[in-house]
Chains A and B, each alone.
Chain A
Amino acid sequence: MTAPLEFTDAARERAVEILSRYPAEYKKSAVVPLLHLAQEEWGYISPEAMACVAGLIDCSPVKVAEIATFYPMFNKEPVGENVLAVCHTLPCALTGCAGIFDHLSERLGIGLGETTEDGRFTLRKSECLAACDRGPVLLVNRRLHTHLTPDKVDEIIDGLEEG
């Protein structure tokens, strides 16, 4: 059995608050917000983190793994400080997402799924981000950037590097 990680006291308090939003007999409903909490806490969802969440909602850990592996926004491996996800679904492809991806890849010196050596950036592709009329689009952590051009991408990266 994978030993579960333990939340810090502050995170534990938030977990209790999250659980209080659901009736006691439907604790499992809290799985997604608890996974978000775990990701904030540890940066990614390891098996040990899944076991921690399973313990909080009294279910078998594989049931948490089902959810955590279903959603791409849960990182299953360590990621950089900033996760960049270029949408590669059809409308973005038509508006040139491939060029955007290549530009990012060249500038950061990393390929798909990789993280820069300084640990600041991870580069990914994403499925549709529901902004088809504004493509190509890029998700930076939780913020969406639209109507991208290589220059605009450079501005975003500059901003992140400075900040």
Chain B
Amino acid sequence: MATITIDDRQYTVEEGRNLIDAAADLGIDIPHFCYHPGLAPDGNCRMCLTEMEIRPGQFGIVTSCTIRIKDGMNFRFNSPAVLDNRKGIMEFLLINHPLDCPWCDQAGECKLQDHSFDHGRGHSRFVETKRVPPKKDLGPHITLYTTRCILCQRCTRFCDEITGTSELGVVQMGSKSEIATFEGVPLDNKMSANVADICPVGALVTKDFLYKPRIWHYEKVNTLCPGCATGCNTTLEVLHQKIYRTRPRHNEAVNGHWMCDEGRFCYHDWQDADRLQSPLKRVDGELRQVTWPDAMDAAVSGIRSVLDGEGDSAMGVVGSSMATNEENYLLSKLGKEAFGSSTTGLNRKPDGEAWTSKSGFRIAADKAPNSRGAGDMLGADSLDDILRGIGDGTIRGLYVLGGDIGQTLPPEVAEAFGKLDFLVVHDVRLSDLADLADVVFPGAIPFEKNGTMTNAQGRVQRLNPAFPQAGGAREDGAILGYVGQRMGIEMGGTDPAEILEEISGRVEGYGGLTYDLVGDQGVMKGGEEPSEAAGG
């Protein structure tokens, strides 16, 4: 720790910390544009200039973003020189900046607006004509409103430092300087849309979030990306039960400040999916829409007939790496207590491409968010035992959690499931898994779920619902709870927080976990330290 002085008051802060961050820890905001905590300091925007004692009694102007805290440092944040500089910088930045705030997508979350309000003038002294360079299409996801750019170069540094793809540069000189790509080399990398998040003004915008409702109308929901086993922390912006934007939420241990484009935009696939609107029951070989009580009766009597006819272990359960820990736990409990020590399995997605950025940000090969947690809850991480049981005739019925809009059943699994006497499935759309079922319960998508998931590192993290279940769907935990009750076992509550407490007493590695402890940054299961941070 180091003791420093700011405007004649003493503070204790972490030694070696960047001055902007150290001040932020103390609740003091040093205005800045080019500095971003996820990037190396650059010192180009000059907005963060403060005064520092450079010789006894003598103060000099320094860029706060490049200052590392040392014991005894003495700063002036509000001296006339500092305030005057900020005013001057603001005036320069606004020379060519258009006053199109009313229709700029950044309005309401714009640093230029904020700092203008705090440090700017009420009127412009610039009487010449503003430059109006045209907007540019930089790549598949990003448009540059060139007029709004203040050349802080966060975006170029992101592409240099984080992705290592270096598609962006500053071309031309002086007042003609512009962010640009090279002919034929668009801004097209796996993380490209992050540049819109870090752009402090409305210059870089995602095409996905162009001309959408104003940002202050959204409800913000902190949750997880369901796109892969990295489990990036995200904030959804939701209005009228619709997601408009996903943005990464800082978690140094998981995703840093970033997320990948595939994960960011995957909400469309889920939200636009053709969802199951009611339970389905197979009648005369065809799936027909039925009421919940009808479907429940059909499920329970079907399960009973398998158990009565073939013995307890004839009914197996298959969990889902799209479902929460709590849902998989309830399924495993249903298997153990209602079906009598049934065989468990996990229907995993075939691996996709793994990728690590220059800075160490990871996209996992496992494209499901909770394979690790589901495996922990079920004590199984594949379908091997289930397929063997079906093969040798010991398993005659299955209760399967589906819930992945993107997944198709491998032919050998479809063939095996086709041999079953009775199949109950939770799914979100009419998938090829649902196609084989005798009873289908319409479940929830990850954006509708409350619960925890365990990422590839073993970090247990919270999932929060953006909106209630669509149409006639129900939370999978509630469905499982009801089936359990009908089967005559005590399932306990279906509140995920209560289930997590039960899990903490029964599943290895989850001891002591509660919703409070998991919080919004997650916690390593079993107190493990992450082997490698996925962020960067």
Contact = CB atoms under 8 A, between A and B. Distances in A.
Interface of A: 1-2, 47, 50-51, 59-63, 65-66, 69-72
A90 B391 CA distance: 91
A56 B448 CA distance: 52
Contacts of A71: 173
A65 B182 contact: yes
A66 B156 CA distance: 11
Contact of A62 (B172, B173, B181): B181
Given A1-B185, A60-B167, A60-B185, A65 B180 contact: yes
Contact of B173 (A59, A61, A70): A70
Interface of B: 165-173, 180-185
Nearest to B173: A70
Given A1-B185, A2-B184, A59 B172 contact: no
A60 B184 contact: no
Nearest to A1: B184
A61 B168 CA distance: 10
A66 B167 CA distance: 12
Nearest to A70: B173
A108 to B, nearest CB: 26
Interface of B is mostly: loop
Contact of A59 (B166, B168, B183): B166
Contact of B180 (A1, A51, A62, A72): A62
A65 B183 CA distance: 10
Contacts of A47: 182-183
Interface of A is mostly: helix
A70 B169 CA distance: 11
Nearest to B181: A62
A63 B172 contact: no
Nearest to B165: A60
A50 B182 CA distance: 10
A2 B170 CA distance: 18
A66 B184 contact: no
Given A69-B171, A69-B173, A63 B184 contact: no
A61 B172 contact: no
B185 A63 contact: no
Given A62-B185, A66-B169, A70-B172, 9 more contacts: A1-B184, A47-B183, A51-B182, A59-B166, A60-B185, A62-B169, A63-B169, A69-B172, A71-B173
Nearest to B168: A62
12 contacts: A2-B184, A59-B166, A60-B166, A60-B169, A60-B182, A62-B168, A62-B171, A62-B185, A63-B166, A66-B171, A70-B173, A72-B173
A7 B173 CA distance: 28
Contacts of A70: 171-173
Contacts of B172: 69-70
A65 B173 contact: no
A63 B172 CA distance: 12
Nearest to A50: B182
A59 B169 CA distance: 12
A61 B182 contact: yes
Highest count of chain A CB atoms <10 Å: which of B166, B171, B173, B183: B183
B182 to A, nearest CB: 4
Contacts of A2: 182-185
A61 to B, nearest CB: 4
Highest count of chain A CB atoms <10 Å: which of B166, B170, B181, B182: B182
A62 B184 contact: no
Given A60-B182, A60-B185, A65 B169 contact: yes
Of all A-B residue pairs in the complex, the 5 with the closest CB atoms, nearest first, are A60-B166, A62-B169, A62-B182, A61-B182, A69-B171
Contacts of A61: 182, 185
A2 B183 CA distance: 6
B170 A66 contact: yes
Contacts of A59: 166
Nearest to A51: B182
Nearest to A59: B166
A41 B50 CA distance: 49
B170 to A, nearest CB: 6
A84 B173 CA distance: 21
A69 B165 CA distance: 21
A71 B173 CA distance: 8
Contacts of B173: 69-72
A62 B139 CA distance: 14
B165 to A, nearest CB: 8
A88 to B, nearest CB: 15
A66 B173 CA distance: 9
A57 B172 CA distance: 21
A50 B185 CA distance: 13
Contacts of A72: 173
